[in-house]
Chains A and B, each alone.
Chain A
């Protein structure tokens, strides 16, 4: 089983600033890594797949990087609507998937 670990658990950032979220895999997942955003009471929303490709309609302020075991989601200038929980997910082991435990991005 591939274990995904996200850090930090909670990140406090002011609007307009940059946020950097990390995700580590227990073994290489190549670039088979996706990021999702989830707001309270809502379903997750795909942001990034292939470690760095933005999904349709996702603003350019969201960017992903990394490969192998270390990945980063960067939000360049935080907007009020970006405060949410973010999950990474590996699909290298497809058809079995695993998610990180999430990072809560909160307003500082």
Chain B
């Protein structure tokens, strides 16, 4: 059974830092692109970042470029999101998601999601 378990959320002051983790199990982690998706309270979903299987390619939504860094440790089956210079608008539940390939088009959607970890940026 595929499982994604996020941790590391909490309350942080504006300008502060936080590192989120996602522990993966039930599949060959090193074979998949992985993503972070967030959801502000009462709002919709926003893709944040993704990373290739070997970590050689990383992409970010414009609003977090230069502040957030996605990384992975395939030996530990873990995905990370280092968040620096946090702002109030970064307050959200952060989900770890597995990218699944649509073999007809070689593009990727999200087939499994973790339960999320809440990040609150407030003074």
Contact = CB atoms under 8 A, between A and B. Distances in A.
Contacts of A49: 100, 102, 109, 111
Interface in A78-105: 87, 89, 91-92, 94-102
Contacts of B114: 43
Contact of B44 (A31, A34, A95, A100): A100
B46 interface: yes
Interface string B87-112: 00000000100001010110111111
Q: How large is the interface on B (under 10, 10 to 19, 20 to 34, 35 or more residues)?
A: 20 to 34
A94 B107 contact: yes
Interface of B: 33, 35, 37, 44-47, 50, 57, 59, 61, 95, 100, 102, 104-105, 107-116
A52 B107 CA distance: 15
A31 B46 CA distance: 20
Question: In this complex, which of A45, A91, A98 has the most chain B Cβ atoms within 10 angstroms of its Cβ?
Answer: A91
A50 B37 CA distance: 20
Contacts of A96: 47, 59, 61
B95 A43 contact: yes
Interface residues of A, number: 26
A40 B68 CA distance: 27
A30 B59 CA distance: 22
Interface of A: 30-32, 34, 36, 42-46, 49-50, 55, 87, 89, 91-92, 94-102
A38 to B, nearest CB: 8
A43 B104 contact: no
A55 B98 CA distance: 14
Contacts of A100: 44
